Structure 1
Amino acid sequence: MFFKLLNFLCGYVTITLPEECLEKFVNIATTRRIYLWEITNSIDNQVALKVRLRDVPPLRHIARMTRCRFHIIKRSGVPFFINQLLHRKALLGGALFFIIVLYALSSFIWFIDIQGNKSISDDKIIAVVRQVGVHRGVPKWSVDTAELEKTIIQQLSGLAWVGVTVDGTRLEIEVVEKVLPPDNGAQIVDLVAKKDGLIKEILVLSGHPLVKEGDTVTAGQVLISAAIPPPEDEENDKKIPDVVEEDELQQQVQFVHARGIVRARIWYDGYEEVKLREQEKHPTGQQITKLCMKIGSKEIILMGPRQVPYTNYIEYAEVKRLPSWRNIVIPVEVITIKYTEQRICYHEFNRTEALRLAGEQALEKLRSQMPEHVKILHTDLREVKTANEEDIVRVRLTVETLEEIGVEKPHQ
């Protein structure tokens, strides 16, 4: 493959010469290190062969020595192709013009792709893009992707993130829409805390907030109330009498479906202990099977030993009973018991390894109490020491997380 490619780049010709001159011609060419290949018979006692373009002048000298003439019947390779282009100036000029036009056209934006939008239509996004002067046919160097991202996310409030990239002649706009809590209709509900915690972030979409950032809340406490009180007006407050009817207050309060996002810092405490010397069981590969039949309370061994020959073993039993017939239960059972021998091993830890292992086990237990994909902010692992030195390492782990704690509850 490499040889054919090299010959094509350097150029080669196909020549014919008389058959009677072939042997002497090839011998002399070989001694002068001229490579000939694909020697085949041609018509009229002529032999065709191929030779590189650079070796044609030396072959003319060899032809004079052997008193035979050769004729070039075919020219192949890059040098001949370039020579043809040079003689066809119109074709060469057209090719160069096509390349220049193609390069010029690739410097403009011809396609605009929008991905990720569901509720916001493509037309709205394209309308915002056109406001900053970006459209089909605009030069790529005039597109400021950062400014375009900022403009789109400012003009369309329903988007949480926008990414703009230029790929060739294509402008790709990828958007992520805001995901709001589901609206359960006109039901009047409060947003309450499902866990104790410290409020870190609060975003009110509808309703009246009763807590703020930095407040400590308990489970069941109302975070966002469905009752929105009337706006405070100092001038009107002076005119309101001291005694106001309850019905009038109810008319001034607006009730909505409370919605929002409330994130709080939650703390979990866990305890775990690990022995410095633990016993482990490993199978040795030895196993025996006992087959017995049980009729009523009597057991008959059909196969296998009466006494298990292993000191430490694990027992697996499989019981098969005869099917009942017309509510008559036949008290016959066939029991297959497999005994697998176990080897007792002891694994010893130093206090550092035991402390690490206990911390991992405690964290694994606490993760079962946390929501999935929760964000862990901080972990604090402390060793619990006792007055007497023991071969047990005890630890207490405190994990701080950031969680969404708001749940809906009917308004009281």
Structure 2
Amino acid sequence: MVLFRLFSFLLGYVALVVRGDSLEKFVNMAASRGIFLWDITRLGQDKVKVRVRIPEVHSLRHIARATGSRFNITERRGLPFVFNRLKKRKLLAIGSVVFLVTLYILSSFVWFIDVTGTDKLSKAEVQRIAAEAGLKRGVLKQQLDTKLVEKNIRDKIPAVAWVGVRVEGTRVVIEIAERKLVPVEPNKGPAHIVATKAGLIKEVLVLRGQAAVKEGDTVLPGQILISGEIKEEVKPEETNQPLPEGQEPPEPKYISHFVQAKGMVRARVWYEGYGECSLSETREKFSGQQKTSVRIKFGSKEIIISGPKDSPYQHFEVKQIVKALPKWRNIEIPVELITLQYREKVIERINHGPSGAKQIAGQKALQEAKAKLPKDAKITEQRLEEVKTGRPEDLVRIKAFVETVEDIGEMKPFKPTEEEKY
């Protein structure tokens, strides 16, 4: 059946509506004379629709006269009719042929080079080394040696563990797998634990170092929480002789030991967010209706292939997709395939009311405040507060306050001075 339809398309066929009182006789006489009719559909008491190839239409005229029937052509399909339409639009035909031939020629070249899998390596550096092996834009795909490109990249970039080059049409993809480097050991010198943000201390756990704050203290960013300097008092030598009258006892002396502080300091931290919402607003949304227009542009002339000339909707959004032939040896071919997608919009008026507007504004404020939270933060309290401006307005303003308990410490290395060492 597929071969039959393909052969019919090449020869061309038409759809006929036959009218008369002897329709069965018309069909039987056509079959007896070797004329094949298909897709026979009865449209009424004296009307039937059939399809037949173009060369056999002339023979059907004799059968129609013999049976007292008449017919007219309602559809024309097939290659001959396509050629007839193209003859009337010579510019379109020539442009289409030029476009297809040019597209076929340009598809033999490499126009796009993509690098995937890079993390620390520069994509531009990989493309530069690949170009040294012959992989660059405008090169013929038949002249490209992918094995040579892979070898050149492996030899000149030691950080590459594996490389693969594959050709996909006019696009070449270079896949890179980088070597896993041994991580550099963190600083082992003395360091403090300092505050990254302001807060109220809730818990201090010291594993190494000396606590510089206690529960209930308020701290600011950069303040030392756990010190990497441990001070020990040097006790003076004990003597049985009393101090002379009027002489003060000597001030205590300390010796410092420097370590890399380690521990956890959890604090109560507050975040703020702001949101607002109108009591009523106008919104646009897509209705789901869409029309597409396809055009070919030759220089400044544009020919519509299918779809409407302008948007059929009053309110709409248009998306334009332009596909142009890439430059070849600084030669630019002024042929573009333009697709315009018109999506219909529906405008609606929404009345939130005071309670609805407060709810929406509160959600916005909480969303803004929570966006500032770190991943390990534990929310302990959240509240909303309406902002009053003192004047009537069609707007609700809300502030959100979120309280969390989180570890606010981070390590900060330091170098002890000569005086601190002794």
TM-score (norm 2): 0.48
Instruction: State the TM-score, normalized to the length of structure 1.
Output: 0.49
Structure label with greater radius of gyration: 1
